[in-house]
Chain A
Amino acid sequence: MSGRIVGQSVERLEDRALLRGEARFVDDISFPGTWHVAFVRSAHAHALILGVDKTAALEIPGVHAVLTMADLEPHLSDRLLRVALPSPAYRQELHRPVLADTEVVHVGEPIAAVIADSRYIAEDAAALVVVDYDPLPAISDCRDAMAPGAPRAHKNAPHNIAAEFDMGYGDCDAAFAKAAHVFRESYWQHRGVAQSMECRGVIAALEPMSDVLTMWSSTQTPHAGKRVLCGLLGRDEDKLRVITPDVGGGFGPKLVFYPEEAVVALAAQLFGHPIKWIEDRREHFVSTTQERDQHWDMEIAVDAQGRVLGLRGALLHDHGAYTARGVNVAYGSAAAITLPYVIPAYFLDIKLVVTNKVSVTPIRGAGQPQAVFVMERLLDRAARELKIDRAEIRRRNLVSGAQIPYKTPLKTRGGMQVVLDSGDYPACQAAALERAGWEAFHTRKAAALAKGRHIGLGVANYVEGTGRGPFEPVSVRVAENGRIHVASGAAAMGQSTKTMLAQVVAEQLGCDMSNITVVAGDTGAIELGMGGFNSRQAVMAGSSAHAAALKVRQKALHVASHMLQVGEQALEIEGNVVRLKGGDGPQVELAEVAKAVAGLPGYYIPGNVEPGLQATEHVIINDMTYANGTCVVEVKVDADTGLVTVSRVVFAHDCGRVLHPKIVEGQIIGGIAHGLGNALFEWMGFDENAQPVSTTLAEYLLMSSTEMPPPIEILHLESPSPLNELGIKGVGESGVIPMTAAVASAVEDALSPFGVSITKVPLSPPDLIALIHGASQEKRS
């Protein structure tokens, strides 16, 4: 059901400026008289702050101020950033201070802000700020945090548990008691960094005539940021505006409100100068939130045919030092693990553990990659033990097409029932397997092995909850010059949001993309908004854009029919005119329609409509829509060095109706690259004192072009979601979710002659060599 614009790979609205160097990222914004900030950050993972000596720093020419909490506190309503999502699971409050003044709990925590004429001078001075620390023992590994007598990550905390809860349904004890087989295994997925190519940044300026404080921040959630800032600074809503300019990638952490935003905004208010802070890459490693460190101890119960009877265990989630978002990542993991499969009984004990490391909040995938890794590893284990084909054991357990809509016993974090609304999971898996040549692979593998080469094939399924509600507003307005202005609370961080919204609107209003301007992420353009996260914007903002565009369309046709004296049914909108269908007849420009409904003093509005050719919609969709997919990965492993080369990726997926095929594929391929990085390269190391050991991009390895596999083979299945008018499901995180699982499955397959068992990612060459040697020693002994 493609339209003329919707469903087509039209040119992106964003491209021209980006390609010509004319885009406006936050560091591209500057004003005369801007002062620059460098933060003094904690050198310790855990310490008491005994004092801060600013004297030497303040003597540097060009330095205007060195701000600590003592300087900020009189101007703030609160010392803390209370941004945690609600949950009954918290066991202690762990809100971040705006600046640390008594205790630091992770390396990189901001303590003071140096404000100077230039960043160079600010950094000179920051190096001269002397912080007197009293170091305390630090928690680096979340497992150690739970040991009896472990030091506390926060000195005065009663324990190291941030939150705990359990999740489950069915009778696990009975399921395990009657099971033919029970397999037990521990799994670990390591912490990573989002590494958007643009780091974070913020510039704030007070406009003295209007007394409006404007903050441009590379945030995914400008409306939420505005709410926090209004509260902290005590400003009225109409005296504060937050704008998300062009953003060089978000990937999750930019949805969080950060201390730096509060400090910069307050400084702009205090000094009357524009104030700018741009995060550098080394700061990104120690101050931007991270994710994925989870330890799972799991048991799976299966019958003799490999049908899953029960799943149970415990999840230890590294929460980092503070609650910067909520229990959502761990909740997302726990709620995702069973989704693709029929699992009669499930129980998970979940503990979120405080460590002296950067806070954990969602990164693309948000807990789901870990859950999929664990589930798929368990199925591979069961398949191996039962000597069932790995794809076959999945087929036996997948929710079938006939079971959809499948009401799971699970609830979302907001208490809504998880209902798998659409899709055909076994068909999706079958499509991927067929394309990948799954059936015949064993002959290729044997032939390669005969030549001393180790190749392997792996498979993983995922189901992803997308389109987190309840709404995302969109306004559509035809200006009096005929130009169509779209504004949304959705925030664009590089995922083509503006193009997506313009497509949906253009489809109803003349099909001319060049006639549409989109403002996304400006609190001055639309009052409410949620922002960009959880693969939600096409679903939520797209639905509102569709509804608003339809309303404007109906109104334009109605008014034009009065102006032209032609029945509405006979009219169409084409380009910038409303005309008789086919174009042979009277017509009126959209601009004229807009002028007509703007009204004239003392005259009727044509058609007797409400003034203004515009509409704002907040389509409410509470239930999430569930996208799914199957990934098959082929690898070759150099058993001498442990080097894994990904030689092929087949990705079959279903995100419902596709609005823009190239954008959807781009999201998937980008997610796959991210997931391959998580599987093979990305390692955010900390030593035993929780000092980070990877703080440059030479140490933290991102996927580069030479490590990518040959072009990824993407298969689209389209089961429209019944939950929204457009039939779409989110896709922004799909690519990343099954990758660690699929790669681990493939590597384990390639190394099956050695009997290697893979239970953690990333898979580094030294670890693989140790596994190969260990396994072969085990075989010998």
Chain B
Amino acid sequence: MPMLNMRFVLPDHVVDLNRVAELTGIRRAGETIEIGAMTRQRDLEFSQDIADACPLMSEALTHVGHRQTRNRGTIGGSLCHLDPAAELVCVAAALDAVVEVIGPNGRREIPFAEFPAGYMSPAIDYTEIVSRLTFPVWPRETGHAFVEFSRRHGDFAIVSAAAMLLLDGAGRITRAVLALGGVAATPLRMRDVEAALIGQVASIELIGKVAEMCRDVEAVGDVYVPASYRQHLACVMSRRALETALSRAGKSAAAAH
């Protein structure tokens, strides 16, 4: 709507999907959680299912805009707008969400890694709509963290980091995820960092070391924030996200034993 108000976009038609009830809802299905594209950010924020199955998303939602916008904003809208600094976009990248799309040729599923075609451009046809998002559910003892740096509460992140860490009984990292939002034109999965973590015994020192791997990440600069600052923040936010995830993983694992 701001784009319409500012006449940045001049569409021939605007279709309101608010009345399509089938596009709304949160459903736990075994090891996945399915979210209708028109599910509001507010409903995700207050959903016990999301809090249980996808706490990373719950945490990210506290950074999304303000209550007036979360009351109206939808997860499908966030993902299609595909602002690289948007929190839900970063979460989708971190969790390898699957995007279901409906068009004249029926349904198809797109892994989130293939969803961004470029800056703020989803890889869907103009005849298609996003209908549903599917997120995998990680084990309960996973440590998660979503942290971001923005100038003010509710602003888009300059850099955000989403991290998930799963440890074995010996404190060795068995699964690791690190995604960065706001750094580049599309959300980044830091797969080399993830690889450097997996198989290692988790520690603050290890995290400090691997977070530095973000120093040379490809980053965009603009008139407000130089690329070098985003690279610097990529390290800082990665470290903070991984440290928090580790502290939570430790607690979960301890509680499990």
Q: Do A and B touch (CB < 8 Å)?
A: yes
| B130: min CB distance to chain A, Å | 24
Residues of chain A within 8 A (CB-CB) of B151 are 681, 701, 765
- Asked if A373 is an interface residue, CB under 8 A from chain B, the answer is no
- B153 surroundings in chain A (CB, below 8 A): 704, 706-707
Residue in contact with B236 in the complex, picked from A641, A685, A704, A706, CB distance below 8 Å: A641
The residue of chain B having its C-beta at the shortest distance from the C-beta of A693 within the complex is B223
Flag if B232 contacts A769 (CB, 8 Å).
Answer: yes
For the complex, what is the distance from the CA of A681 to the CA of B250, rounded to whole Å?
A: 38
Contact: B236 with A640, CB < 8 Å? yes
* Given the contacts A641-B149, A683-B224, A123 and B154 also touching, CB distance less than 8 Å: no
B52 at interface by CB-CB < 8 Å: no
Contact with A along B156-176 (1 / 0, CB 8 A): 101000000000000000000
Please provide the chain B residues from 209 to 253 with a CB less than 8 Å away from any CB of chain A in the complex: 223-226, 229, 232-233, 236
Whether A764 pairs with B232 at a CB distance below 8 angstroms is no
Query: Are B6 and A704 closer than 8 Å at their CB atoms?
Result: no
A687 at the interface (CB under 8 A from B): yes
For residue A643, CB closer than 8 A to chain B, the reply is: yes
- Residue from the list B6, B225, B232 in contact with A282, Cβ < 8 A: B6
Interface of B: prevailing SS:
loop
Closest chain B CB from A337 CB (angstroms) = 30
B226 contacts A766, C-beta separation under 8 Å: yes
Interface residue ranges of B169-210 to A (CB < 8 Å): none
Task: Determine whether the beta carbon of B225 is less than 8 Å from that of A766.
Answer: yes
Shortest C-beta distance, A768 to chain B (Å), equals 10
Residue from B151, B154, B155 having most chain A Cβ neighbours under 10 A: B151
Question: B153: nearest residue on chain A (CB-CB)?
Answer: A706
Query: Do the beta carbons of A704 and B152 come within 8 Å of each other?
Result: yes
Contacts of B224 in A (CB 8 A): 683, 685, 699, 764, 766
**Interface residue A180 (Cβ < 8 Å from any Cβ of B):** no
A127 touching B7, Cβ below 8 Å: yes
Interchain CA distance A67-B149 in the complex, whole Å: 48
Expressed in whole angstroms, the Cα–Cα distance for A778 and B224 within the complex equals 25
State in angstroms the CA–CA spacing of A696 and B155 once bound together: 13
Contact: B7 with A706, CB < 8 Å? no
B225: which A residues are within 8 A, CB to CB?
766
Given A123-B7, A707-B152, A765-B151, A687-B223 contact (CB < 8 Å): yes
Contacts of A640 in B (CB 8 A): 236
Do B149 and A643 have beta carbons less than 8 Å apart? yes
A685 vs B225: C-alpha distance in the bound complex, in angstroms? 12
B6's nearest neighbour on chain A, judged by CB, is A282
Q: What residues on A are CB-neighbors of B233 within 8 Å?
A: 641
Main secondary structure on chain A at its contact with chain B? Answer: loop
List A residues 702-748 near B (Cβ within 8 Å).
Answer: 704, 706-707
- Chain A 471-486 near chain B by CB (<8 Å), digits 1 or 0: 0000000000000000
Interface residues on B, range: 10 to 19
Query: Contact string, A688-705, partner B, CB cutoff 8 A, digits 1/0?
Result: 000001001011010010
Q: Which residues of A contact B232 (CB under 8 A)?
A: 769
**Are A765 and B229 closer than 8 Å at their CB atoms?**
yes
- A685 touching B149, Cβ below 8 Å: no
Bound-state CA distance A643–B232 (Å) is 13
Residue of B nearest to A642 (CB): B229
- CB contacts (< 8 Å) of A681 on chain B: these are 151-152
Name the distance in Å between B236's Cβ and chain A's nearest Cβ: 5
B98, chain A: closest CB distance, angstroms: 31
B122 to chain A, nearest CB (A): 21
Is there contact, CB below 8 Å, between A704 and B154?
yes
Chain A residue numbers with a CB within 8 Å of B152 are 681, 701, 704, 706-707
Cα distance, A693 to B153, chains bound together (Å): 22
Distance A282 CA – B229 CA, assembled complex (angstroms): 28
A84–B31 Cα distance when bound, in Å, is 72
Residue of A nearest to B233 (CB): A641
Task: For the complex formed, measure the closest distance between the CB of A638 and the CB atoms of chain B, giving whole angstroms.
Answer: 9
Shortest C-beta distance, A293 to chain B (Å), equals 16
A698–B224 Cα gap in the complex (Å)?
12
Residues of chain B contacted by A683 (CB below 8 angstroms):
224
Per-residue interface assignment for chain B, residues 1 to 17, with 1 indicating a CB less than 8 Å from any chain A CB and 0 otherwise: 01000110000000000
Q: Which residues of B contact A643 (CB under 8 A)?
A: 149
Once bound together, how far apart are the Cα atoms of A704 and B223, in whole Å? 22
A691 to chain B, nearest CB (A): 10
Q: How far is the CA of A693 from the CA of B225 in the complex (A)?
A: 13
Task: With CB as the reference atom, state the residue of chain B lying closest to A695.
Answer: B6
* Cβ-defined contact, A769 with B229, below 8 A: yes
Which B residues lie within 8 Å of A764 (CB)?
224
Whose C-beta in chain B lies nearest to the C-beta of A124? B7
Q: Name which residue of chain B comes closest to A282, CB basis.
A: B6
Chain A residues 112-129 with CB under 8 Å of chain B are 123, 127
User: Which residues does chain A contribute within 8 Å of B7, judged by CB atoms?
Assistant: 123, 127
- Which chain A residues border B158 with CB–CB below 8 Å? 765
1/0 contact string of A263-303 vs chain B (CB within 8 Å) = 00000000000000000001000000000000000000000
Write out the residue numbers on chain A whose beta carbons fall within 8 Å of the beta carbon of B154: 704, 706
CB-nearest residue of chain B relative to A707?
A: B152
Q: Encode contact with A along B129-158: 1 for CB under 8 Å, 0 otherwise.
A: 000000000000000000001011111101
CB distance from A225 to the nearest CB of B (A): 30
Residue pair B229, A766 in contact (C-beta under 8 Å): yes
Nearest-CB residue, chain A, relative to B158: A765
Q: Could you say which residues of chain B place their CB within 8 Å of the CB of A123?
A: 7
In the bound complex, residues from chain B placing their C-beta under 8 Å from that of A707 are 152-153
Nearest residue (CB) in B for A685 is: B223
Partner of B155, one of A127, A701, A769, A770: A701
Q: Within 8 Å CB of A701, what residues of B?
A: 151-152, 155
* Inter-chain contacts of B155 with A (CB < 8 A): 698, 701
Min CB distance, A701 to chain B, in Å? 6
**How far, in whole Å, are A282 and B5 apart by their CA atoms in the complex?**
11
Which residues of chain A come closer than 8 Å to B6, judged between CB atoms? 282, 696
Chain A positions 739-775 with a Cβ under 8 Å from a chain B Cβ: 764-766, 769-770
**Chain B residues, CB < 8 A from A699:** 224
Contacts of A765 in B (CB 8 A): 149, 151, 158, 229
In the complex, what residues of B have CB within 8 A of residue A706's CB? 152-154
For the A-B complex with A704-B152, A706-B153, A707-B152 known, give 15 more contacts whose Cβ atoms are closer than 8 Å: A127-B7, A282-B6, A641-B149, A643-B149, A681-B152, A685-B224, A696-B6, A698-B156, A701-B152, A701-B155, A706-B154, A764-B224, A765-B158, A766-B225, A769-B229
Top 3 nearest A-B pairs by Cβ distance?
A: A706-B153, A766-B229, A640-B236
Q: Point out residues on B near A: beta carbons under 8 Å.
A: 2, 6-7, 149, 151-156, 158, 223-226, 229, 232-233, 236
Supply 18 A–B pairs (Cβ within 8 Å), ascending by A.
Answer: A282-B6, A640-B236, A641-B149, A641-B233, A643-B149, A681-B151, A681-B152, A687-B223, A699-B224, A704-B152, A704-B154, A706-B154, A707-B153, A764-B224, A765-B149, A765-B229, A766-B226, A769-B232
